[in-house]
Structure 1
Amino acid sequence: MRRRSDTPSLARIAEEAGVSRAAVSMALRHHPRIPIATRERIEAIAKRLGWKPNPLLAEAMSAIRAGQPPADRVTLAWVTTFPEREGWRNIHFFSRVHDGADARAARAGYKLEHFWLGDARGNVSRLSDILYNRGINGLIIAPMAAPGPLELAWKHFAAATVGFSVTSPRLHRVTDNHTASVRVGVTRLRGAGFKRIGFALSGNFDRRVNGLWGAGYLWQMHEVGEFQEELLHRPPELDETLFIRWVRETKPDAILSVDRRIPEWLAGAGMRIPRDVAYVNLDIPADDGTMAGVYQDPESIGAACVDMVAGQLLRHERGLPEKPRTVIIDGRWVDGATAPACDPESDAAKEADTLLCNLGKFPELLPSAFD
């Protein structure tokens, strides 16, 4: 007996939209021959009727057109390597990247499932076997607790990773725009009248991002002729006592960092923010205005990872890429209570806008667009 599907047929959508079945098919695949306005109207009708993208069908049709047998692949793996199974969830950025990937996968008709290296007793070969035997060949490698290699059986998988913590092999990756974020922070603070702009950063944390945080600070401060070595505080790990000593000795009028403990440390030392020293965080947890800085948009980073893996699956690409691609997702500047805002019409604000331009949420592309 044939099982009834709740998904509307192309014919039903075509009848409702007053177009041909071929036009519906192309619209739902984002074919360039269909005008954007028409495509959006057809998509809205399809969504109202209950249509959802089907990665099984998309991959099967792609395989047929390529002369290859279709494969049954619907689950993508979120692969983590922290010492504890859920340790990565304690870092808000990592957790929100996962949330973005999970939501994107669901919208595209995939399922995102967590696989922890510890469940394979720390054995990467065993984890590769688990994934392969489950029929999973699309992997998103989450940020690792410490930078290092990850030697899975890559020939079986299409993969993308978040950031730079996987040092080898070279995979497709999605990351935020670290260098531009720092440059925007410096530019915004200068536009608000600050001159002695310090940067407090864990050296080990900077190495997680290939030194791009520190590079952005050095670049912009040299660019404006204001760099002073004493204003860069970059010990292996940030320590409250050493940090407060640095502040008192160098007397910055504003501080950039990615460490959210710093406002507490400053307050504990009797310093008022922003009256005594302004503070900008380059990885604010929310764009609610309580803290000035850059919201890195981790949800969009996760979504982009899903799109990269889905594209490889639909093109039947497996194994290590010959030319790994890096997708950079801009964050967005958020004015907040910890630093005065510069005039939005000032040259500084306009310059900052050219460095970091996030025009909104990541576009909701369909996996079939990669076909």
Structure 2
Amino acid sequence: MRRHSQTPSLGTIAEAAGVSRAAVSMALRNHPRIPVSTRERIQKIANELGWRPNPLLAEAMSAIRAGQPTTDRITLAWVTSDHRRDGWRVGPFMGRCWEGAEERAERAGYRLEHFWLGDVGGNATRLSEILYNRGINGVIIAPLYEPGTLAMQWPRFAAATIAYTLTEPRLHRANDNHSAAARVCVARLHAAGRRRIGLALAARLDHRVADQWTGGYLLETFAEGIGNDALLHRPYDLDPKSFLAWVELAQPDAIISTEPRILEWLAEAKINVPTDIAYCSLDLAKDDGAVAGIYQDAHGIGAAAVDLVAGQLLRHERGLPQKPKTTVIDGRWIDGATAPVVPEGLDHALLRKTAHLLVNTGPFGTTHPVAYD
């Protein structure tokens, strides 16, 4: 089985690192016999030289050890269900998920390819046939346009999904820590002096995350002693008329939401943000500080989905898992112009208090293993 022509040999890496070929081989497999510092140094040199793991070789060796025949599995399918082929690219979250998945797949030696259910008239069984006939055995189900089921021929594939929109069957999944995100928003607004913290959230969107945003909000407002049913505005969809009527009746001094148009609605109503009402988002489109809130690590979520599929492929696991696993990726709080900053001195206490909820307060630090054992 040939190595990729662009991939340096173990000998080349060994010479550059000043170690033996055996040491390079073990370092690239994260073998515990090689000290962590040495492993990281060798892996860094290997990456700089352009080394990438070869999933074909990894599967071949795995199959040989298991006494099974080898087959080529190089492409992973990214399956979407929007009304338009590239409709999923419009939202920043899904775009970042794809980037993270594509990057992780490339680093692991796979190739990620997009497949749209619309090309087969929404027929998941037909898509399964196409993928299987092309020798594609790894599938990532991107968040569905509408929550529901998907009748893929699951026994043929190693599969994972992102978020909670695939209601049946239950697959391994990767998603954001939604409950913790809502709790951190409440805790930070409360520490900044806000006492009437409202949640204005479309139930339609909350259902997509298993209602965890509302659950986290209710839990933290109860824990902070500021729970108030009147401060929860959760219609099926948000609209400016009912939203502003709620604001006038409930009199919140801070609002948590996912709807960016709320800032426009408040401005049109002559309500100053953040003086009159602070605002923070549970799903920031950007982390530039223009808006306060949670910046989901969509890049890391996409990468985690690839990890879940690649691990199954290399363990020769196919079909629905008996014990589906969920990989939860923390987002990051972003101080922004729409909410007051926690006063100095209180911020460290707050971080200690919420450390078990959401640990990524600095730049994302998603790891990128070079092998799947």
CA distance in 1, matches of 2:53, 2:83: 36
CA shift in 2, pair 1:45/1:3, >3 Å? closer
1:208 and 1:50 mapped to 2: Cα distance?
Answer: 39
Give yes or no for contact 2:52–2:109 (8 Å, CA) kept in 1.
yes
Structure 1 runs not aligned, ≥5 long: none
- Is the counterpart of residue 364 in structure 1 residue 343 in structure 2? no
What is the SS of the residue equivalent to 2:194?
coil
Question: Do residues 228 (structure 1) and 232 (structure 2) align?
Answer: no
1:45 positional shift? 2.5
The CA deviation at 1:71 is 1.4
Question: 1:20 and 2:20 equivalent?
Answer: yes
Aligned-partner residue type, residue 368 of structure 2: E
Paired residues of 2:187 and 2:224 also in contact (CA < 8 A): no
Q: Separation in 1 of the partners of 2:244 and 2:369?
A: 47
Unaligned runs of 5+ in 2: none
- TM-score, normalised to structure 1, is 0.96
Match of 1:278 in 2: 278
CA distance in 2, matches of 1:354, 1:5: 46
Whether 2:322 is the aligned partner of 1:351: answer no
Partner of 1:113: 113
Q: 1:151 offset after TM fit, Å?
A: 1.2
Greater CA drift, 282-291 or 324-333: 282-291
Q: Is the 8 A contact 1:343 1:349 kept in 2?
A: no
Shift of residue 353, structure 1, vs aligned partner: 3.2
Q: Does 1:35 align with 2:35?
A: yes
Aligned-residue offset at 1:11: 2.2
Q: Tell me the SS of whatever aligns to 1:355.
A: coil
Query: What is the DSSP-based 3-state SS (H/G/I as helix, E as strand, rest coil) of the residue aligned with 2:276?
Result: coil
Partner residue, 2:311: 311
Mean Cα displacement is larger for which, 52-61 or 259-268? Answer: 52-61
What is aligned with 2:77? 77
Q: Is the 8 A contact 1:188 1:352 kept in 2?
A: no
- Counterpart of 1:19 in 2: which secondary structure? coil
> What amino acid is the match of 1:361?
G
1: CA distance, partners of 2:107 / 2:16: 23
RMSD: 1.5
What's the % identity of the aligned pairs?
58
Partner residue, 2:257 = 257
Q: Name the counterpart of 2:156.
A: 156
Equivalent position amino acid for 1:364 in 2: H
Q: Render the CA deviation track for 1:41-83: whole Å, top value 9, x for unaligned.
A: 2122323333222111111111111111121011100001112
Q: Distance in 1 between matches of 2:117 and 2:188?
A: 42
Cross-structure match for 2:244: 244
Distance 1:158 1:230, change over 3 A: same
User: For residue 140 of structure 1, what is the aligned residue in structure 2?
Assistant: 140
Are the equivalent residues in 1 in contact too, given 2:75–2:138 (CA < 8 A)?
yes
Number of paired residues?
368
Q: SS of the residue aligned with 1:98?
A: helix
Q: What SS does the aligned partner of 2:51 have?
A: coil
| Secondary structure of the structure 2 residue equivalent to 1:218 | helix
SS at 1:354 equivalent: coil
**1:67 & 1:3 partners in 2: Cα distance?**
22
CA distance in 1, matches of 2:156, 2:4: 34
Q: Which amino acid aligns with 1:197?
A: I
In 2: Cα distance, 1:20 partner to 1:345 partner? 52
Distance 2:3 2:288 in 1: 48
TM-score, structure 2 as length reference: 0.95
- Which amino acid counterpart does residue 97 of structure 1 have in structure 2? C
Matched, 1:57 2:61: no
Tell me, yes or no, if the aligned pair for 1:147 and 1:208 is still in contact at 8 Å: yes
Q: What secondary structure, in the 3-state scheme, does the structure 1 residue paired with 2:355 have?
A: helix
Alignment deviations for residues 59-116 of structure 1 (CA, whole Å, 9 cap, x no partner): 1111111111121011100001112111111222112111111111112211110001
CA–CA distance in structure 1, aligned partners of residues 105 and 97 of structure 2: 12
Greater displacement, 40-49 / 228-237? 40-49
